Structure 1
Amino acid sequence: MLSPAASRDVVSHAARFWRDHAAVIALGAIAVSVLGCLTYGFALGAEIRYADERDYLALTHAVLSGDGYASDGEPTAYRPPGIVFLLVPLAAVFGDGLPIARLVGIAALAVSAWLMFLLGRRLRSPSCGALAAVAVASYPPFVYTATTIYPQLPAMALLLGFLAAAFRAAERRGVPAAVVAGMCGGMLALTVPTLAVSVPIVAGWFARRHRPPRAVLAAMLVLAVLIPGAWTVRNAVVLDAFVPVSTNSGVNLLLGNSEHVTPEAGSAADITHYYEQADRLELSEVEANRFYRDQALDWISEHPAEAALLYVRKVAHTFALHNDLFTDDATSLLHDVVAAVTFSLLFALVVLRLALTRWHPLDPREKLQITLVVVNVLVIAVFFTRIRLRLPVDGLLILLAASALARVVSLPREQGHHRISSP
């Protein structure tokens, strides 16, 4: 058994190693993660595990074949187009098979891990950044989702890219970083629309704390609005209706707010009779979206107390350790146990970071991250909750957890490292 002095020496040596080799550690973790994801992804071959994957692949094929963003030959806006915009150029070069399509999620995981390193380094130190990057690269839900055609990991990469670029613009007060932030923010709205709430929050924080030149703030906001705005114009032209991003907001609202909904049901909630009504009425895609939305709002207005309690329960269930899935073949006891243990550890470290505020007050950017977590959870719960919908929020939690761990084990701050408090 090591003596206290020897234990301190071991910790000090480890701390110096992480400090001196932070970037190498981060890149090494990313390389191992990518290799593992590639191996698993190509082992899956052409196996499609979820209906969403089939839809995104079909839309990609339609775009490449010249039919445009269409389903069964008809223009559509049912699925947010962000991930398809990422799939199309990849498929155009390498083919639109499923194994190639998985590269989008794998690349998003790698980019997210590196952005986490940059954010952690800016937040506290390179050591903190390395911890955050390793956590992202090895976080089981991220690794699993990277091999699916889901928009959550690309959305997380865009959210982290938006934050990193906004922080850089705050420090350098430059237009180029603001342009990157605006592009990431705009694409974020087209990839996972609910996450778009992060854009005005960060922009407001940026404007209030740093008072940037008008050109810098304008570059960020104009692009963040222009990109989804262009898609809205497309929808108005081809669908003859005002559709900001997609036509699935109505059904998603109904899945989270109707008589047979429970916090645990998620997208498996029984709304069959609403589907049947829409079919009988022969509603168009846009009309069906309005119908589902109106039905959900009617139920909320008629059952305010029940709807309020359901909402509170959905907020709590956002942090669930397990989801029941439509497809039994997609469930795995080992996967569930590993995901539950890792998220429990992550959540405990975030709580620890909050507990440490007495001795280590929250940095303004940590406060911003907490605000983003809280607001995004509240927005998710308006609709329905699933673990995968929470994944971009987990990225923000990992950054806070890395900060807590870095402080607890006293990983040293590099001499001369720029602290990120506002000027």
Structure 2
Amino acid sequence: MRLNLGERHWLWLIVVAGLVLRVAAVLAFPHVPEGDEQAYLSMASNLVHGQGIVDFMGNRAMYNVGYPLFLLAPIFQVFGENLLLVRLLQVVLGGVSIVLCHAIAREAGAGRLGRLLAAALWASYLPAALYVVYLQKENLLTPLLLAGLWLALLLARRPSYRLAAACGAVFGLIALTGNAGLALLGAAGLALLLTPAGLSQTLRQLALALATLLLVAGPWMWRNAEVLGSPVLNTNGGFNLYLGNNPAATGMYMSIGDTPRGADWAALRKTGEVAASATLRADALNWIASHPTDFATLALRKAAHFWTPPWHQGRDQPSGAEALVRKVWLVQYLVIVLTALASLPWLGLRRPRAGQAGPAGRNLTLLWFALLAYTAVHMVFYVIYRYREPIMPLVCVLAAVALEQFVLRRRERPVIQIASA
């Protein structure tokens, strides 16, 4: 990716500003790990101490392995259980995401202004800074999703077996880190199918990408087949499906104790992770089959929850500083999302001829397709607001493209610029 000197300097300034904001969040907001964070910490700690990958509740594959395996465990192995170093590494990953926003904006046809705006919007988005404090998989999933989609867009413009293998490997890491991220496989596959390469080469690239995905995720699935008797990525699929689809479901996360299965959950757990998940999956599917209208209505409610502006309050009475941060977050969110909607007029989807760069409208369409697919996954399960964060960089890219087009129109310049090699 070639940048002129001025653009490179501006990009580095934006990255540094984003890193400073994230470090400030780490220093200013003390946080004691809880819930899922404790599970990830225990998985990494037990692995480092020779007890294998098992969480504090005794589960061996309830949670995705990617975050504790690739981020927590290496730090624990070398430096001990130093949570400050973990958070600083998450700050670095935040910087990587800022650069990837710039790169994706470039593939989406943005000019210099749009590319820098995409990076700046994500660098300054407050939740992106605050979430580095939390020991959650989203800190790793976000740059992985961006990298996978960027590689797919590159493939759509420049067929390459090397890029296909890299894209498959990244999606293998996504499979291990957060299953919901596999929703972007559709957008990635569509991008590859629209490449200017011939059909035979395209199919070979698809096969190579899938092979490298399985090569990365396969060993973990093999381990689970040996340990649990089933080659799964994790054992929470049925659990999560049931939480989002039962007679008491609201669309948001709920405790298993608040569902009809709450009374016998302890006994069900004793049947094993795989069996318990299968039972809950069957319960959820039975409820869906017998209540199709309720399921459809609930799915739409989940989509609304997923994109609901952050005007909710925290669990405790917020301090003055927290209240101010929440107000700024709300304003940022509304501006970014509403501006992203203005990118819709430039959508388009067609296959370019050999030797030509893909049109900007096509890649914008692929970004919107990725957004819709990621939303659709959560319409099937349930919503926690932080689940939205890994996809918000794409919203920032779309908002940046729309803002640039507004500026260009005001200057009476061409409206769409084609990404160049």
Residue 293 (structure 2) aligns with: 305
How far residue 273 of structure 1 moved from its aligned partner, in angstroms, is 4.5
* CA–CA distance in structure 1, aligned partners of residues 28 and 331 of structure 2: 26
Q: Do the aligned partners of residues 385 and 34 (structure 1) sit closer, same or farther apart at CA in structure 2, a change above 3 Å counting? A: same
2:50 to 54, 63, 66: 66
The whole-number CA distance in structure 1 between the counterparts of 2:315 and 2:346 is: 42
Aligned to 1:419: 418
Q: Show the counterpart of 1:141.
A: 127
1:256–1:382 CA contact under 8 A, matched in 2:
yes
Q: Report the alpha carbon displacement of residue 239 of structure 1 after superposing the two structures with TM.
A: 1.0
> Does the Cα contact within 8 Å between 1:75 and 1:238 map onto a contact in 2?
no
CA distance in 2, matches of 1:355, 1:200: 22
Aligned CA distance change for structure 1 residues 270 and 355 (closer, same or farther; 3 Å)? farther
| Paired residue type of 1:176 | R
Identify the match of residue 189 of structure 2 among 167, 192, 203: 203
- Please state how far the C-alpha of 1:83 moved relative to its aligned partner: 0.8
- On the 8 A contact 2:155/2:163 being kept in 1, the answer is yes
Distance change in 2, residues 1:318/1:173 (3 Å): same
CA deviations on 1:43-78 (whole Å, 9 max, x unpaired) are: 555x32431111111111111111111124956101
Aligned position for 1:15: none
Output aligned runs, 1:184-203, within 5 Å: 184-203=170-189
CA distance in structure 2 between the partners assigned to 1:336 and 1:326 by the alignment: 9
Choose 105-114 or 167-176, whichever is displaced more.
Answer: 167-176
Cα distance, 1:292 vs structure 2? 1.8
Structure 1 residue aligned with 2:284: 296
Q: What do the CA deviations read for 1:194-253 (whole angstroms, capped 9, x no partner)? A: 11121243123312333363554333221123322222111101112232x111112211
Residue of structure 1 aligned with 2:37, choices 53, 59, 62: 53
Counterpart Cα distance in 2 of 1:255 and 1:63: 29
- Other structure's SS at 2:247 match: coil
- What count of residue pairs does the alignment treat as equivalent? 399
| 1:250 maps to amino acid | G
Name which of structure 1's ranges 207-216 and 125-134 shifts more when overlaid on structure 2.
207-216
C-alpha displacement at 1:101, in angstroms?
1.8
Cα shift at 1:321: 1.6
Q: How does 1:241-390 map to 2 (within 5 A)?
A: 241-243=230-232, 245-263=233-251, 265-267=252-254, 271-281=258-268, 282-322=270-310, 327-328=315-316, 332-355=322-345, 363-390=361-388
8 A Cα contact 1:26 1:130, kept in partner: yes
- Choose the corresponding residue for 2:221, options 214, 232, 241: 232
Residue 351 (structure 2) aligns with: none
- Aligned partner of 2:91 in structure 1 is 106
Residues 163-214 of structure 1, C-alpha deviations (whole Å, 9 max, x = no match): 2222333433222222221111111111110111212431233123333635
Q: What RMSD over aligned residues (CA atoms) do the two structures have, in Å?
A: 3.0
- How far apart are the structure 1 equivalents of 2:219 and 2:413? 45
Q: 1:194 to 1:294 in 2, by over 3 A?
A: same
CA distance in 1, matches of 2:135, 2:413: 40
CA gap of 1:257–1:326, structure 2 versus 1, over 3 A, is farther
User: Could you say if the C-alpha distance between residues 52 and 327 of structure 1 is closer, same or farther in structure 2, counting changes exceeding 3 Å?
Assistant: farther
Instruction: Calculate the TM-score normalised by the size of structure 2.
Output: 0.85
CA distance in 1, matches of 2:192, 2:133: 35
1:402 equivalent in alignment to 2:388: no
Q: CA deviation at 1:297?
A: 1.6
Q: Given the alignment, which residue of 15, 25, 31 partners 1:30?
A: 15
| Counterpart code for 1:354 | L
Q: 1:58 to 1:29 in 2, by over 3 A?
A: same
1:132 aligns with 2:118: yes
Give the whole-Å Cα distance in 1 for the aligned partners of 2:303 and 2:286: 21
Q: Secondary structure at the match of 2:133?
A: coil
Q: Aligned match of 1:80 in 47, 64, 69?
A: 64
Change in Cα spacing, 1:64 to 1:28, as seen in structure 2 (3 Å) is same
- One of 61, 66, 75 as aligned partner of 1:90: 75
Change (3 A) 1:257 1:410: same
Aligned-pair identity (%) = 26
How far is the alpha carbon of 1:370 from its aligned partner?
Answer: 0.7
Unaligned runs of 5+ in 2: 349-358
- CA shift for structure 1 position 362: 6.0
Shift in Å at residue 95 of structure 1?
2.5
